[in-house]
Amino acid sequence: TKKEETPTYELALVTDIGTIDDKSFNQGAWEGVKQYADEHDITYNYYKPTEASTAAYVEAIGLAVDGGAKVVVTPGYMFAPAVYEAQTLYPEVKFVLLDADPHTEDYATFKIESNVYAIYYAEEQSGFLAGYAAVIDGYTSLGFMGGMAVPAVVRFGHGFVQGAEVAAAELNVNVTVKYEYLNSFAPDAAHQTKAAGWYSEGVEVIFAAAGGAGLSVMAAADAATAKVIGVDVDQSSNSASVITSATKGLTTSVYAALTDFYANTFKGGTIVTLDVAKDGVGLPMATSKFTTFNQAKYDEVYDKLVAGTIVVKKDAAKVVDLVVPHVVVTVEGAE
């Protein structure tokens, strides 16, 4: 029958809202899948759910399984309830869940089966490094534009403010941070204007933790000859204005999880947080465009994070709850 002629794909990724090239978790995870599969000559494919609902996610996972997937990568916290369902629906399939661990829709029940490997990233540390580096490098007027107040983005933002604080204390300078969520992950003239406004009032660098929306911030920075800090992946190639990027090791961690799977050491049933200690987050120093801040400085603060001499808080309800004496944070709109 025709069905048999349809090709199968051993590795699958189901995308979250946004496209496969969202400059964010979809893209980062996808590159991990691609890299591993290409290197090992394994078939792979991605599936885009018809809409952002648990039902559609479950269905897309079903489709992937139908298509012969042995491992399904699901990037984004929105997948938590879908994977919660799928893990028992498809016990023979392995899931790599990023940014979340499986739970029910109402957060009442958390349960992880042995076929699910859940990965969190210490975005607050990544954000911290970016904030720290920026202030050490001499910037005192910073901005943070988050795509949306989802947990990972919030962690980036809170870390960023804390990093700025530590550096400001070190240099004994005062720093201001404008802080806002755009409610968008897509490029738009509106974001460009917003960023242009910030730059016109003296903001020197904006940390754009907003996927594709960051591209509009870069457009504004280009025009204002101001700076941007990228997010998730190394975004230096997108614009000359990108001084560094607060990355999280999406690609490497997915790659690693797949390596484990084929080595029969899949870490099913575990929830990990990839932090500095596990090389999960950091700044791409090779492509960074700092003047004062340098590799030595980076290593120094990095080690402090690893050693725990600096602890970055990640569960404040609001950014203003963080005590940062040297930094004045002005939040725009609702948090």
Partner 1 sequence: MKKFLMNAGVQKIFAALLAILFGLAFGVVILFISSFFISKASYPLDALYTIVTGGLRFSGLKGLGIIMRFMSPILLTGLSVGFAFKTGLFNIGASGQFVIGGFVAAYICIKWTFIPLEYLWIVGILGAVIAGGIVGLISGLLKAYRNVNEVISAIMLNYISMITVSNLVSIIADKNNPSRTSPPLSRIPTLGLDKIFGNNTTDISIFIAILVAILIYIILERTTFGYELKACGYNRNAARYAGINDRLGITLSMTIAGALAGLGGAMVYISSITKVFDSLLTLAPEGFDGISVALLGMSNPLGIIFSAAFIAALKNAGPALSRSGFNEEVVKIMTAVIIYASAFSLIFREKLVQFFTKKGAKK
Partner 2 sequence: MNTDTMIFLIRNMVPFMIPLTIVALGGMFSERSGVVNIALEGIMVFGASFGIFFIYFVPDLMSPQLMILAAMGIAIISGVLFSWLHAYASINLKANQTISGTALNLFAFAFHDFLARLITKTGTEGVSFKNVFRIEKIPFFGDIPVLGDLFFKNVYLSTFIGLGILVVASFVLYKTRFGLRLRACGEHPHAADSVGINVNRMRYWGVLISGALAGLGGLVLIIPTTVEYTGTVSGYGFLALAVLIFGQWKPSKIFLAAAFFGLMQVISNSSGLAFFTSLGINKYFYQIVPYLTTLIVLTFTSSKSASPKAAGEPYDQGKR
Q: Containing H/E element for 217?
A: helix 213-224
The distance of closest approach from Cβ of residue 130 to partner 2 in the complex, given in angstroms and rounded to an integer, is 20
The distance of closest approach from Cβ of residue 189 to partner 1 in the complex, given in angstroms and rounded to an integer, is 13
Taking CB under 8 A as the criterion, the residue among 141, 238, 273, 294 binding partner 2 is 238
By a kind-dependent CB cut-off of 5 to 8 A, residue 201 interacts, out of partner 2, partner 1, none, with partner 2
The distance of closest approach from Cβ of residue 99 to partner 1 in the complex, given in angstroms and rounded to an integer, is 12
Taking CB under 8 A as the criterion, the residue among 49, 76, 146, 212 binding partner 2 is 212
- The residues facing 282 across adjacent strands are 247
By a kind-dependent CB cut-off of 5 to 8 A, residue 170 interacts, out of partner 1, partner 2, none, with none
Residue among 157 and 212 whose Cβ is closer to partner 2: 212
| Cα→Cα distances 140→133, 178, 236, 281, 307, Å | 11, 11, 21, 24, 27
Taking CB under 8 A as the criterion, the residue among 188, 234, 260, 335 binding partner 2 is 188
The distance of closest approach from Cβ of residue 193 to partner 2 in the complex, given in angstroms and rounded to an integer, is 4
Taking CB under 8 A as the criterion, the residue among 81, 131, 187, 249 binding partner 1 is 81
Residue 141 CB partners (closer than 8 Å, separation 6+):
175, 176, 202, 203, 204, 205
By a kind-dependent CB cut-off of 5 to 8 A, residue 222 interacts, out of partner 2, partner 1, none, with partner 2
Q: Interface mask (CB under 8 A) for partner 2, residues 254-293, using x and -?
A: ----------------------------------------
Closest to 226 measured CA to CA, from 212, 246, 241: 241
Q: Is 19 in the site for partner 2 (CB under 8 A)?
A: yes
Please state, as a whole number, how many other Cβ atoms lie within 10 Å of the Cβ of residue 37.
18
Full strand arrangement of the beta sheet holding 71-75: 44-47, 11-14, 71-75, 94-98, 116-121, 270-274
Q: Is 81 in the site for partner 2 (CB under 8 A)?
A: no
Q: Is 315 in the site for partner 1 (CB under 8 A)?
A: no
Given a contact cutoff of 8 angstroms between Cβ atoms, the answer to whether 218 and 239 are in contact is: yes
Closest to 231 measured CA to CA, from 212, 216, 255, 205: 212
Q: Containing H/E element for 278?
A: none
What does the alpha-carbon distance between residue 175 and residue 197 come to, in Å, rounded to a whole number? Answer: 19
By a kind-dependent CB cut-off of 5 to 8 A, residue 59 interacts, out of partner 1, partner 2, none, with partner 1
Taking CB under 8 A as the criterion, the residue among 192, 245, 252, 253 binding partner 2 is 192
What is the maximum alpha-carbon separation in the chain?
73
From the list 16-24, 37-45, 57-65, 164-172, the region that binds partner 2 by CB under 8 A is 16-24
String of b and e for 285-314 (b: at least 16 CB within 10 Å)? beebebeebeeebbeebbeebeeeebebeb
Residues that bind partner 1 (CB under 8 A): 2, 5-7, 9, 17, 43, 45-56, 59-60, 62-63, 66-67, 77-78, 81, 105-107, 148-151, 154, 182-186, 334-335
Residues that bind partner 2 (CB under 8 A): 19-21, 23, 27, 178, 180, 186-194, 196-198, 200-201, 212, 215-216, 218-219, 222-223, 238-239, 330, 332-334
